[in-house]
């Protein structure tokens, strides 16, 4: 009988997706996703992460580099990172509208990124393959 994790019976990965993550699962636009990631005002990704993007310079080093992340994580895992990073992470949820602290009045009830923008970011991150 094959053991868990053997080549014949690969270990099942359980990814629990939040409700927001399931709202759309459309194929995103990687070009738009790249623009979102590159724009600190829109996404803040590069405050914490670096990535294979020439601009802006002085990218973050609080978090793992995004280079090659599309080889390390599946699209579902990337989506989960963006929508439900977990309470122990300093990474914000880009989909959450509830359970947040000290949200400015103009942003109450609004996620940082729309479901379509999240699709686009997932599509872009999926293109970041290890050499």
Nearer to ligand HEC, 20 or 69 (CB): 69
Our finding on whether 44 is near ligand HEC (CB under 6 A) is: yes
Q: Distance (Å, rounded) from C-alpha 30 to C-alpha 35?
A: 9
**Token reading at 95:** 């989909």
Q: Are 50 and 66 in contact (CB under 8 A)?
A: yes
Least distance from C-beta 29 to ligand HEC, angstroms? 15
Q: Least distance from C-beta 11 to ligand HEC, angstroms? A: 18
Of the candidates 64, 78, 80, which has an alpha carbon nearest to the alpha carbon of residue 125? 78
Does residue 122 interact with ligand HEC by CB under 6 A?
A: no
What residues from 67 to 106 belong to the interface with ligand HEC (CB under 6 A)?
69, 72-73, 78, 81-82, 85, 89-92, 94
Residue (37 or 123) nearer to ligand HEC, CB: 37
Name the nearest CA neighbour of 20 among 126, 130, 116, 124. Answer: 116
């Amino acid at each position: 009988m094959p053991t868990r994790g053997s080549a014949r019976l690969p270990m099942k990965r359980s990814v629990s997706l939040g409700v927001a993550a399931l709202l759309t699962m459309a194929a995103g636009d990687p070009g738009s996703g790249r623009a979102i990631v590159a724009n600190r005002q829109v996404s803040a990704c590069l405050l914490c992460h670096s990535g294979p993007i020439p601009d802006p310079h002085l990218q973050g080093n609080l978090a793992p580099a995004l280079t090659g992340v599309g080889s390390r994580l599946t699209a579902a895992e990337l989506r989960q990172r963006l929508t439900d990073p977990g309470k122990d992470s300093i990474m914000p949820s880009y989909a959450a509208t509830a359970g947040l602290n000290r949200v400015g009045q103009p942003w109450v009830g609004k996620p940082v990124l729309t479901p379509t923008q999240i699709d686009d970011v997932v599509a872009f991150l999926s293109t970041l393959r290890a050499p």
